[in-house]
C-alpha cells in the first residue's frame, strides 16, 4: 500500500489538483467508458497494486466515474474542498490514462525513406515496444535492414543534389516550411505527448517537451533566411568575405543504448538547425534521423508531420533499429556529418565509426555527472525544490523557469540531471531534511496519468543497471541511504526516488553516471573554492548548478566550474537561444543557440583581388 | 628654476609656431610658476591643420589596416620607452602625483594605442545572401577629418583615447588639447613623427576654446567632433555642430553616486571609496563624489573613511609618498574651495579636510586637503547636485534600496555609479536601476575598453569603446550585388 500512503500525505491543494486533472481527462473521454474498468486493471497492476486492492478500487472507481459523468467534476476545479478518499484519487488518475489511450493509437511504426513508409521485408519479425509501467506491448515496430539505411542516405543525397530543396528553395521558403512543421506539431501536441508517454515519461512533462520542441523549431525558422558570412575590409586591395553553406547530408543519431534521453526534444534540437542552415543558391541540408530504439514513436509522428508540409520528400528520413543500425549509419560513407546525443561510451564508438570513413565532422552531446552546489546563503526551499526536480523529475517549480524549458529530469534519465549534490556544512542536515521530505512526496504513477510526477524508467536493462548501482551503494558501509533505494511495486520499472548521503567523491556512485532517480549527496564542503574543486573532479563536464545569493561565490563558480552549462539559482532550463553542449568527456559541439548552426554549416572563404 | 619650455603646433608633420606669434603662460600647479608656453593659436592655424588632415585622408584611409596597426604599435612602443619622461611631464603640468601618472595615465595612453591597433585587425562586417537574388556586403568607411578636443584632468590618457580609435579607423584628425595641460600632447607629436606616422594624419593645434576650439568645431571640412570635458562647453559645441549635421561624441560631467550597502565588504568599500573620491585630486569625471551609506554602517563608515582621508598625504607630486598633488589651476582651486563654503552654508559638516594647504613649500601651489562633508540633504542642495571636480566628497545615509536608487538618480548627470554589496540579486537589481552609462559592482574605474563608455542625461552623447568608437569614426555602407 505504499502508493496509498504517498497519496494520503498530499496536502489538500494537491488532492484538488489531482481531481481537477482527472476530471478534465474524463470530460474529454465523453461517453466512451466501455471497457474502461478492464483497462484500469492493467494500469493499476502496473502501479504495483495487489489484485485485492484492485478490486476494491475498481468498484470505487466505477462510482466515481458515474459521479463525474453526472457533472460533479465541474465543481471540483480549484475549490478547496475536503480531501477525498485516496483510493478514489488513484482511480480517477488511472481513468485519465485510459482516456488518453482511448483517444490515440500508434499510427506510424515503420521507417520513412524518401517520403514513403518502408514495407517490412518478407519474414521480418517486428520488435515489440513495451510499456515500462505495465510490461505490456504498446506497439510493434518494423526495424531497418542495412540496405534501408543505404536507401535513406541515397534519398537524402538525391533530395540535396537533384531536388528543389537543394537547388531552388530560398531561405524564406525554408523558414516557412519550418513554421509549417511547428504548426503541425502544435496541432498534434496531444498525440505527440501521448506517444512520448508510452515510453514512461509522465504525460504532463511530455507536453512541456512538445511545447519546447515547437519553440525550438520556430526559433531556428528565424535563422533560415539570414545565414550570414563575414566581410573583412582588412586590405584595400582585396574583397574578402566568407560564405556559410550547408554541410550536406546529416546523420542524426540519438542514443541506441541510452534510452529515453534522446526523445523528440533532442531530435528537434538537431533537425531544426540542420534544416534551417542552408544557402539559397547552393543547397540546404538533408537528414537521416535514427531515434533510440526504445523511443521511436514520437520521431515517426514528427516525420509524418513533416511529410504533410511543403518540405520535399527525402529531406527528412527516419531509420529504425538498434546498435547495429546506428553504427551502420554512423559509418556510412554517404553522410557529410554525424551528430550524436547519448552516452559517452557510445559516443566513442560513434566517433570511431565516423572517423573510419572520415575525416568527417562529428558533434557529440554525451553524458554527465552533474554537480549542484548549495551554499549556506541560498534560498534553501527554492534550492530543495529544484534539487529534487533536477535529480528525479517532477512538475515545474516556482515559475522560475521560462516557457522554453526542459524542466523535468525524467526520472534522472537526462544527461543534465543533477546527480551529485554538494552542501555547505552549516546547512547540510537541514537541507537533507528538506529534500528527503520532498522526495517522499513525489507521486509515482502511470506516465499517462496527468498527476504523475515520476514514471517508470525505460526498460529492463536500464532498470537493472540502476538497481545494480543502488545495491552497490547500499553495500558500502560508508554510505548512508536516506530515502528510497527499492523498486516500487512488482510490475513495471518503477524505482523509488533514492537519496544517498555521505558519499565519498571517489565512490562509484559519485563517479559513474547512473541515469536513474538516484542522488548522491557528497560530504559537506566548507568553502566555495572547495565545492568548485570537488564539483570539477569528474571526467564529465556537461552542466553544473549553483545556489547562492552571494555575488563573489557566484562569480567564482562561474569562472571556475568546468562545465558547458552553468545554472545559477535555477536548474535544467535550456533556453533555445543559449548554446548547449559539454566539455571534457561530455562531448563537443553545441545544440541550440546560433552556435548550433556551426555544426551544420561549412565556411567558404573568398579572397578577391581588386583590379 | 629652468626657463619655460615653448611648445609648437603639429601641422602636416611639421612642428610649427602659431601664426599669431603669441603664447599662453601655463603654470606648474604645484609651484604656481610658469613652466610651459603654450601656442595661443587662432583660426588660421586651424585652417592649415584641417587642410593637412584632409589632404592626408585619402591615402591614410586606403592604408591597409595591418600597416595602420603597425604604426600605432610603434607609437605605443616609443611611449613605453619614454614612460618616465612622460610621467614626470604629466605630473609637472597637471599637478597629479608622478606615481599616478606613471601607473595610470601613461600606461593607459600606451594601452589605448595597442588596444585599437590590434582590435582593427579583427574588425569584420557581415555579408548576407538574399534568397538567391543578391549578395549584400557591409562596407565600413572612415568618415574623414575629426576634431578631437580633450580635457586637462587626464591629458594624455583622454587625448589618446580619441586619437587611437580615430586613426585606427582610417580617419585623420586635428586635436585641440586643453591649453592648461598641453605638454604631453606636444611630446606625443614628436613620438608620432619618430614612429613614421604619415604627415597630416594627426595634427595638433594648441590654444584656447574660443580661439581654436570654436573654429575647429565650426569648420566645414570637419564632419566629426569628439569632445571630453565640461557640460557647459559641451552645450556650446552642440549648438555649433548640430545645425551643420556633424557626428558628435560628447563625454561630459558627472556627479556619480557610490552606494554602499550594509552587507558590503567594509574594508574593500572604504579602501576603494578613498580612491574613487580622491584619486587625481578628485579631478576625474568618474569620481564617486556622492557616497550613500546604508544607515546600519553609516557612523562606522564616516569615522573610518574620514580618519583615513585625514591620513592621506597631500604634497609634492614628485614625492612617491604623495597621495594627492595639486589642483590643476588657481581658478579651479578657488572654485573647489567655494563649494566647501557653500556646503557649510547648506548645513554640511566638514569631518575631514575642508581647506587649502599653504604650509612652507606649498605656499604658491594649489593644494587642497581631501574633504569629507556630512549632514547635507541627500538631494536638494547645490553640493549634492553640482559637479565640483575636486577632492570633495559627501557622505549621506540611506535606509532602503529604493532610497539609495532615488538619491543616486536625482541629479542631471548620468555618467557612472558604484554599488557595494555581497548580495548578487541586489547588485543586479540596483545596477539595472541606475540611470547611468557605467555601473561598477564592488569596484571602481575598472575599464574594459571593449565595453561601451559614455553617459546619459547631461553626461553626454554617444559611446566610446572598441565597437562604439568604430561606429563613430566610420559610416556603414550596404553594397548589394545581383547574383
* b/e A265-297 (16+ beta carbons within 10 angstroms → b): bbbbbbbbbbbbbbbbbebbbbbbbbbbbbbbb
Helix (H, G, I), strand (E, B) or coil at A433: helix
Cell of residue A438, nine digits: 520532498
- Mean pLDDT of the region A453-465: 88
Q: Which of B121, B79, B86 is nearest to B102 (CA)?
A: B86
Q: Which residues in chain B are contacts of A554 at CB distance < 8 A?
A: 424
> Which stretches of A233-332 are assigned E, i.e. beta strand?
238-246, 249-254, 278-279, 283-284, 286-290, 316-318
| Contact criterion met (CB below 8 Å) for B326 and B456 | no
B420, closest residue in chain A (CA to CA): A551
Q: A236 and B128 in contact by Cβ < 8 A?
A: no
Cα→Cα distances A127→A140, A257, A294, Å: 5, 16, 10
Mean local confidence (pLDDT), A185-196 = 92
CB of B127 less than 8 A from some CB of A: yes
Mutation target among A172, A229, A382, A555 for the B interface, most CBs of B within 10 A: A229
Give contacts of A168 with chain B, Cβ < 8 Å.
Answer: 132
- Do B156 and B163 meet the contact criterion of CB atoms below 8 Å apart? no
Look at A234 and B140 and tell me if their CB atoms are within 8 Å.
no
Q: Which residues contact A109 (CB under 8 A, 6 or more apart)?
A: A126, A139, A140, A141, A142, A297, A300
pLDDT (tens digit, 9 = 90+) per residue, B265-276? Answer: 999 999 999 999
Mean of the pLDDT values across residues A284-289?
94
For residue B134, list chain A residues with Cβ-Cβ distance below 8 A. Answer: none
pLDDT digits (tens, 9 = 90+) for B326-344: 999 999 999 999 999 999 9
Looking at chain B, which residue has its C-alpha nearest residue A552?
B422
ipTM comes to 0.84
Is some CB atom of chain A closer than 8 A to the CB atom of B118? no
Whether pLDDT at A148 is above 80: yes
The answer to whether B128 contacts A228, with C-beta atoms less than 8 Å apart, is yes
CB-based contact, B70 to chain A, within 8 Å: no
Which residues, at least 6 apart from B227, have a Cβ–Cβ distance to it below 8 Å? B149, B233, B234, B237, B248, B249, B250, B251
Q: Can you tell me the mean pLDDT for B454-467?
A: 95
Q: Do the Cβ atoms of A234 and B138 come within 8 Å? A: no
pLDDT of residue A184: 97
Q: Are B5-252+459-482 and B257-448 equal in CATH topology? A: no
Q: What's the grid cell of residue B405?
A: 536608487
Residue B433, min C-alpha distance to chain A (Å): 18
pLDDT at A518 over 50: yes
Q: Rounded to whole angstroms, how far apart are CA atoms A112 and A474?
A: 46
Q: Parallel, antiparallel, or unpaired for β B9-11 and B5-6? A: unpaired
B125 contacts in chain A (CB < 8 Å):
230-233
The mean per-residue pLDDT over the stretch A432-436 comes to 97
Alpha carbon separation from A210 to A155, A200, A315, A445 (Å, rounded):
28, 15, 22, 21
**For chain A, first and last CA: distance in Å?**
86
Would you list the domain boundaries of chain B?
A: 5-252+459-482, 257-448
Residues of B in contact with A225 (CB under 8 A): 131
> A453-474 in b/e burial notation, b at 16+ Cβ within 10 A?
bbbbbbbeebbebbbebbeebb
For residue B441, the chain A residue with the least C-alpha distance is A551
Closest CA to B92 of B192, B209, B204, B2: B2
| A229, closest residue in chain B (CA to CA) | B127
- Kind of pairing, strands B290-294 and B257-260? parallel
pLDDT of residue B359: 85
Strand B134-142 and strand B474-482: pairing? antiparallel
pLDDT of residue B203: 98
Q: Which residues of A touch B126 (CB under 8 A)?
A: 228-231
Chain A residue with the nearest C-alpha to that of B128:
A228
| Contact yes or no for B63 and A550 at CB 8 A | no
Provide the shortest C-alpha distance from residue B135 to chain A (in Å).
Answer: 10
Give yes or no for residue B475 having a pLDDT over 90: yes
pLDDT, greater one: B481 or A31: B481
CA distance B18 to chain A (A): 36
pLDDT at A525: 98
Beta carbons of B227 and B57 less than 8 angstroms apart:
no
Beta strands B356-357 and B125-130 are unpaired
pTM for the model stands at 0.84
For residue A236, give the nearest of B64, B132, B422 by CB distance: B64
Question: Comparing C-alpha atoms, which of B170, B176, B205 is closest to residue B71?
Answer: B170
Which stretch of A451-455, B271-275, B398-402, B462-466 has the lowest confidence by average pLDDT? Answer: A451-455
Contact B332, B390 (CB under 8 A): yes
Shortest CB distance from B423 goes to which of A170, A280, A551?
Answer: A551
Give the range among A254-268, A302-316, B46-60, B361-375 with minimum mean pLDDT.
A254-268
Determine what percent of chain A is predicted with pLDDT higher than 70: 79
**Which spans in B317-437 are helix H?**
330-345, 382-385, 401-408, 424-433
B170 contacts in chain A (CB < 8 Å)? none
Fold of B257-448: Aldehyde Dehydrogenase; Chain A, domain 2 (3.40.309)
User: Alpha-carbon dihedral of residues B178, B179, B180, B183, nearest 10 degrees?
Assistant: 90
Asked if the Cβ–Cβ distance from B483 to A281 is below 8 Å, we say yes
pLDDT on residue A282: 52
Q: Are B92 and B35 spatial neighbours (Cβ–Cβ below 8 Å)?
A: yes
Tally of residues, chain B: 483
> How many Å lie between the alpha carbon of A242 and the closest alpha carbon of chain B?
8
Cα(B42)–Cα(B23) distance, rounded to whole angstroms? 11
**pLDDT of A6 above 80:** no
- The pLDDT value given to residue A263: 60
Best to test chain A binding among B58, B66, B119, B132 (most A CBs inside 10 Å): B132
Alpha-carbon distance B100 to A170, whole Å?
Answer: 60
Check A550 against B421: CB less than 8 A apart: no
- Residue A40 CA to residue A38 CA, distance in Å, equals 5
Considering only A427-431, B86-90, B337-341, B445-449, which range has the smallest mean pLDDT? Answer: B445-449
Distance from CA of B230 to the nearest CA of A (A): 35
Asked if residue A10 has pLDDT above 60, the reply is no
What mean pLDDT value characterizes chain B? Answer: 96
Task: Please state the φ and ψ torsions of residue B84, each to the nearest 5 degrees.
Answer: -65, -45
Q: Which three cell numbers stand for residue A134?
A: 505495465
Residue A84's SS3 state is coil
Active site annotation includes B251: yes
Separation between Cα atoms, residue B182 and residue B164, nearest integer Å = 18
d(CA B148, CA B176): 6
A569, closest residue in chain B (CA to CA): B425
Contact between chains at B422 and A551 (C-beta distance less than 8 A):
yes
CATH fold, domain B5-252+459-482, is Aldehyde Dehydrogenase; Chain A, domain 1 (3.40.605)
Contact A170 B125 (CB under 8 A): no
Mean pLDDT value across residues B458-468: 95
Check residue A207 and give its pLDDT: 86
Asked if B139 lies within 8 A of A170 by C-beta distance, the reply is: no
End-to-end alpha-carbon separation of chain B, Å?
Answer: 73
Cell representation of residue A529 = 573554492
Cβ of A168 and B421 within 8 Å? no
Segment A535-554 mean pLDDT: 96
| Gyration radius (Cα) of chain A, Å | 25
Alpha-carbon gap, residue A213 to A206, rounded angstroms:
10
Q: Which residues contact B249 (CB under 8 A, 6 or more apart)?
A: B224, B225, B226, B227, B454, B460, B461, B462, B464, B472
Please indicate whether, in this complex, the C-beta atoms of A233 and B140 are within 8 angstroms of each other. yes
Question: Residue A552: its chain B contacts at CB < 8 A?
Answer: 422
> Does A361 have pLDDT greater than 70?
yes
d(CA B292, CA B285): 18
Q: How does strand A228-232 pair with strand B392-398?
A: unpaired
CA gyration radius, chain B: 23
State the Cα–Cα distance between residues A495 and A489, nearest whole angstrom: 9
Percentage, residues of chain B above pLDDT 90: 94
State mean pLDDT over B252-261: 97
Mean pLDDT within A204-209? 83
Most confident of A170-184, A458-472, B144-158: B144-158
Cell of A192: 505527440
The A-side interface with B (CB below 8 A) comprises 168, 170-172, 225-237, 239, 241-243, 279-281, 548-552, 554
Amino acid at each position: 500500500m505504499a502508493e496509498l500512503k504517498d497519496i494520503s500525505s498530499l496536502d489538500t491543494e494537491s488532492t484538488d489538483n489531482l481531481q481537477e486533472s482527472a476530471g478534465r481527462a474524463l470530460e474529454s473521454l465523453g461517453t466512451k467508458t466501455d471497457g474502461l474498468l478492464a483497462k484500469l486493471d492493467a494500469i493499476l497492476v502496473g502501479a504495483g497494486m495487489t489484485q485485492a486492492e484492485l478490486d476494491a478500487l475498481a468498484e470505487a472507481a466505477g462510482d466515481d466515474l458515474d459521479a463525474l459523468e453526472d457533472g460533479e467534476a465541474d465543481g471540483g476545479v480549484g475549490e478547496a474542498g475536503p480531501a477525498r478518499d485516496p483510493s478514489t484519487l488513484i482511480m480517477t488518475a488511472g481513468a485519465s490514462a485510459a482516456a488518453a489511450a482511448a483517444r490515440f493509437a500508434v499510427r506510424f511504426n515503420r521507417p520513412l525513406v524518401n517520403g514513403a513508409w518502408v514495407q517490412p521485408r518478407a519474414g521480418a519479425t517486428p520488435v515489440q515496444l513495451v510499456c515500462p509501467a505495465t510490461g505490456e506491448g504498446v506497439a510493434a515496430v518494423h526495424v531497418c535492414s542495412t540496405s534501408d539505411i543505404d536507401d535513406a542516405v541515397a534519398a537524402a543525397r538525391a533530395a540535396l543534389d537533384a531536388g528543389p530543396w537543394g537547388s531552388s528553395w530560398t531561405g524564406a521558403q525554408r523558414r516557412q516550411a519550418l513554421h509549417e512543421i511547428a504548426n503541425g506539431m502544435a496541432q498534434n501536441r496531444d498525440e505527440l505527448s501521448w506517444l512520448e508517454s508510452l515510453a514512461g515519461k509522465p504525460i504532463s512533462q511530455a507536453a512541456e517537451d512538445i511545447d519546447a520542441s515547437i519553440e525550438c523549431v520556430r526559433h531556428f525558422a528565424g535563422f533560415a533566411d539570414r545565414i550570414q558570412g563575414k566581410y573583412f575590409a582588412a586590405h584595400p586591395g582585396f574583397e574578402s568575405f566568407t560564405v556559410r553553406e550547408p554541410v550536406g547530408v546529416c546523420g542524426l543519431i540519438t542514443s541506441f543504448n541510452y534510452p529515453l534521453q534522446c526523445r523528440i526534444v533532442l531530435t528537434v534540437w538537431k533537425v531544426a538547425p540542420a534544416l534551417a542552415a542552408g544557402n539559397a543558391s547552393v543547397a540546404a541540408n538533408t537528414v537521416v534521423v535514427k531515434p533510440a530504439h526504445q523511443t521511436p514513436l514520437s520521431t515517426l509522428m514528427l516525420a509524418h508531420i513533416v511529410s504533410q508540409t511543403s518540405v520535399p520528400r527525402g529531406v527528412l528520413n527516419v531509420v529504425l533499429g538498434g546498435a547495429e543500425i546506428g553504427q551502420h549509419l554512423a559509418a556510412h560513407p554517404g553522410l557529410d556529418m554525424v551528430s550524436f546525443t547519448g552516452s559517452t561510451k557510445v559516443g566513442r564508438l560513434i566517433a570511431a565509426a565516423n572517423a573510419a570513413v572520415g575525416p568527417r565532422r562529428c558533434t557529440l552531446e554525451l553524458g554527465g555527472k552533474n554537480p549542484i552546489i548549495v551554499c549556506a546563503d541560498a534560498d534553501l526551499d527554492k534550492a530543495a525544490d529544484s534539487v529534487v526536480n533536477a535529480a528525479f523529475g517532477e512538475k515545474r517549480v516556482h515559475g522560475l523557469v521560462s516557457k522554453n524549458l526542459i524542466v523535468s529530469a525524467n526520472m534522472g534519465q537526462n544527461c543534465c540531471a543533477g546527480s551529485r549534490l554538494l552542501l555547505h556544512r552549516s546547512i547540510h542536515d537541514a537541507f537533507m531534511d528538506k529534500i528527503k521530505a520532498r522526495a517522499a512526496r513525489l507521486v509515482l504513477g502511470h506516465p499517462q496519468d496527468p498527476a504523475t510526477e515520476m514514471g517508470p524508467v525505460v526498460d529492463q536493462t536500464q532498470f537493472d543497471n540502476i538497481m545494480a548501482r543502488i545495491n552497490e551503494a547500499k553495500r558500502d558501509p560508508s554510505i548512508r541511504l536516506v530515502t528510497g533505494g527499492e523498486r516500487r511495486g512488482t510490475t513495471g520499472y518503477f524505482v523509488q526516488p533514492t537519496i544517498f548521503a555521505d558519499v565519498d567523491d571517489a565512490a562509484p556512485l559519485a563517479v559513474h553516471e547512473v541515469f536513474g532517480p538516484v542522488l548522491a549527496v557528497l560530504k559537506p564542503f566548507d568553502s566555495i573554492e572547495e565545492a568548485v574543486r570537488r564539483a570539477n573532479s569528474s571526467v564529465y563536464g556537461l552542466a553544473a548548478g549553483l545556489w547562492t545569493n552571494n555575488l563573489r561565490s557566484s562569480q567564482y563558480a562561474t569562472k571556475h566550474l568546468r562545465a558547458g552549462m552553468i545554472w545559477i539559482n535555477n536548474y535544467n532550463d535550456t533556453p533555445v537561444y543559449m548554446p548547449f553542449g559539454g566539455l571534457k568527456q561530455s562531448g563537443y559541439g553545441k545544440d541550440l543557440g546560433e552556435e548550433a548552426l556551426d555544426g551544420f554549416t561549412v565556411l567558404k572563404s573568398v579572397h578577391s583581388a581588386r583590379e | 628654476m629652468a626657463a619655460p619650455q615653448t611648445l609648437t603646433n603639429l601641422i602636416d608633420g611639421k612642428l610649427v609656431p602659431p601664426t599669431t606669434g603669441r603664447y599662453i603662460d601655463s603654470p606648474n600647479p604645484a609651484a604656481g610658476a610658469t613652466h610651459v608656453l603654450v601656442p595661443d593659436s587662432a583660426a588660421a592655424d586651424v585652417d592649415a591643420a584641417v587642410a593637412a588632415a584632409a589632404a592626408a585622408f585619402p591615402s591614410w584611409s586606403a592604408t591597409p589596416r595591418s600597416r595602420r596597426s603597425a604604426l600605432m604599435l610603434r607609437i605605443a612602443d616609443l611611449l613605453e620607452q619614454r614612460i618616465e619622461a612622460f610621467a614626470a611631464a604629466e605630473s609637472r603640468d597637471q599637478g597629479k602625483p608622478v606615481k599616478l601618472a606613471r601607473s595610470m595615465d601613461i600606461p593607459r595612453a600606451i594601452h589605448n594605442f595597442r588596444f585599437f591597433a590590434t582590435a582593427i585587425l579583427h574588425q569584420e562586417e557581415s555579408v548576407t545572401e538574399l534568397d538567391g537574388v543578391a549578395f549584400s556586403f557591409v562596407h565600413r568607411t572612415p568618415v574623414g577629418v575629426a576634431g578631437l578636443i580633450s580635457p586637462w584632468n587626464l591629458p594624455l590618457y583622454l587625448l589618446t583615447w580619441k586619437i587611437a580609435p580615430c586613426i585606427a579607423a582610417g580617419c585623420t584628425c586635428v586635436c585641440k588639447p586643453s591649453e592648461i595641460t598641453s605638454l604631453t600632447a606636444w611630446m606625443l607629436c614628436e613620438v608620432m613623427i619618430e614612429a613614421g606616422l604619415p604627415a597630416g594624419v594627426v595634427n595638433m593645434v594648441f590654444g584656447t576654446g574660443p580661439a581654436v576650439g570654436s573654429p575647429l568645431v565650426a569648420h566645414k571640412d570637419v564632419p566629426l567632433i569628439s569632445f571630453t570635458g565640461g557640460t557647459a562647453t559641451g552645450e556650446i559645441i552642440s549648438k555649433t555642430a548640430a545645425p551643420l549635421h556633424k557626428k558628435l561624441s560628447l563625454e561630459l560631467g558627472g556627479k556619480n553616486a557610490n552606494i554602499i550597502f550594509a552587507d558590503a565588504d567594509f574594508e574593500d568599500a572604504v579602501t576603494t571609496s578613498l580612491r574613487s573620491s580622491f584619486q587625481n585630486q578628485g579631478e576625474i569625471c568618474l569620481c564617486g563624489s556622492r557616497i550613500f551609506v546604508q544607515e546600519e554602517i553609516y557612523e562606522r563608515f564616516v569615522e573610518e573613511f574620514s580618519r583615513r582621508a585625514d591620513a592621506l598625504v597631500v604634497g609634492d607630486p614628485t614625492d612617491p609618498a604623495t597621495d594627492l598633488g595639486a589642483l590643476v589651476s588657481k581658478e579651479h582651486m578657488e572654485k573647489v574651495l567655494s563649494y566647501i563654503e557653500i556646503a557649510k552654508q547648506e548645513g554640511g559638516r566638514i569631518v575631514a579636510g575642508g581647506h587649502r594647504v599653504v604650509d612652507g613649500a606649498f605656499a604658491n601651489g594649489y593644494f587642497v586637503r581631501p574633504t569629507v562633508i556630512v549632514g547635507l540633504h541627500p538631494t536638494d542642495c547645490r553640493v549634492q547636485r553640482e559637479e565640483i571636480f575636486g577632492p570633495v566628497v559627501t557622505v549621506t545615509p540611506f535606509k532602503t534600496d529604493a532610497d539609495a536608487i532615488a538619491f543616486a538618480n536625482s541629479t542631471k548627470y548620468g555618467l557612472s555609479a558604484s554599488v557595494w554589496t555581497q548580495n548578487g540579486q541586489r547588485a543586479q537589481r540596483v545596477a539595472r536601476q541606475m540611470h547611468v552609462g557605467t555601473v561598477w559592482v564592488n569596484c571602481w574605474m575598472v575599464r574594459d575598453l571593449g565595453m561601451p563608455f559614455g553617459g546619459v542625461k547631461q553626461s553626454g552623447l554617444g559611446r566610446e569603446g572598441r565597437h562604439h568608437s568604430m561606429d563613430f569614426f566610420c559610416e556603414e555602407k550596404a553594397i548589394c550585388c545581383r547574383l
